[in-house]
Amino acid sequence: MLPVPIPAGAIELRDARSGTARHVTLRPFRIGQTQVTQGDWAAVASGAPGQPAESTGAAHREPEIPVHAVTWFDAVQWCNAASVASGIAPAYRIRGREVTWDVSSDGFRLPTEAEWEWCWDYADIARYADYRSLRGGGWMVGRG
């Protein structure tokens, strides 16, 4: 999980349903060079109390594929466990279903929507209630 530095910048996020847009200024941050893999997930989860256990055995069969079939809550718990394992302060405080983000923390965290059109933010609350933004990628393990 080598982090890649991303410079500061700005983006305009548009909401097609409401016809609104908002300008977001981004501070510099670091993001993993690849998605978290089954192997990454299992390595952290195996040593973290309260961390969801790997459920499919995929980490042993194909450790290089991205982790999948985890909830948003699983992901923030994993981020905290990865932070602790790396000797840095966790980015999230978790109390039941309430999660707060310490923006001053250097701990592992999910990117904001503006950072990677991704996962910290809520989706359109008027339409989707408390669903988080969903983003994903494609992957394929080659078979010879």
Per-residue pLDDT of the chain (144 residues; tens, 9 = 90+): 678 898 999 988 887 778 888 999 999 999 988 889 999 999 998 766 555 554 445 566 788 898 888 888 999 999 999 999 999 999 999 999 899 999 999 999 998 878 875 755 666 677 777 766 655 555 455 544
Domain count along the chain = 1
Does residue 22 fall inside a structural domain? yes
pTM: predicted TM-score of the whole model, two decimal places: 0.73
The CATH number covering residue 113 comes to: 3.90.1580.10
Residue 51, SS3 per DSSP = coil
Domain limits for position 77: 3-128
Does residue 137 fall inside a structural domain? no
Secondary element (H or E) of residue 4 = strand 3-6
Does residue 95 fall inside a structural domain? yes
Q: Which tokens is 2 given?
A: 């080598």
CA nearest to 93, candidates 77, 112, 108: 77
Secondary element (H or E) of residue 78 = helix 72-85
Q: Give the CA distances from residue 141 to residues 47, 64, 85, in Å, rounded to whole numbers and listed in that order.
A: 27, 8, 28
pLDDT number for residue 126: 76
C-alpha 75 chain-centroid distance = 6
